[in-house]
Amino acid sequence: MQLSVTNSVVGKMSFKRKNRSIHKWAGIIVALPLLVILVTGILLLVKKEFDFIQPPSAKGKTSQPTITFEHILAAAQSVEMAQISSWDDINRLDVRPAKGITKVRSHNSIEIQIDSHTGQVLQVAKRNYEFIESLHDGTFFEKNANLWLMLPVSLILLFMVFTGFVMFYQPFRTKKRNKQRGGNT
């Protein structure tokens, strides 16, 4: 009888040690990716509060857009730092009728805000939002890093929640068992 109790206790201690070891090594593995996700996530949450992340939107003269695509391209080409020579150099157009502007984003992350009525360049700024987002989802490192890096990190974190719960619950379970044994003898 004594032998089976001893083996049972040794087995439980072994489980506790294995669980702690797995939890520790999983934490070490995901620490750096989690730190990158955490810091960039905070920056993305406050993106509109800081102009260096996402430039504020200017206001055009009227909400009715009247300029043509050719005028938009010409206005964008007039900004040297954007390095736009043709439509191929433009990543995205963002038309904001309520604000009376069209945002032109170049491939080098320069945002040009153009009045949609007059064609005047209202603002030029570097847009760091896309860079921070690419760090956040892992695509900065490699196009499919969100699958081969961030997905495993997420699964390891989910597993760590489980092992952490087991480590948290274990002392309560042991106390309850010891209390029941003490009351039955």
pLDDT one digit per residue (tens) for the chain, 185 residues: 455 555 555 556 688 888 888 889 989 998 999 999 999 999 999 998 988 888 888 888 877 888 999 999 999 999 999 999 999 999 999 999 999 999 999 999 999 999 999 999 999 999 898 899 999 988 898 889 888 888 888 899 999 999 889 889 888 888 888 888 876 55
Q: Which conformational region is residue 138 in: left (phi greater than 0), alpha (psi within -120 to 50 degrees), or beta?
A: left
pTM beyond 0.85? no
Tokens representing 114? 């153009």
Which of 126, 127, 148 lies closest to 138 in space, CA to CA? 148
Residue boundaries of the structural domains of the chain: 19-50+128-158, 55-127
What is the 8-class DSSP label of residue 81?
G
Assigned fold of 55-127: Nuclear Transport Factor 2; Chain: A, (3.10.450)
Contact 40, 129 (CB under 8 A): no
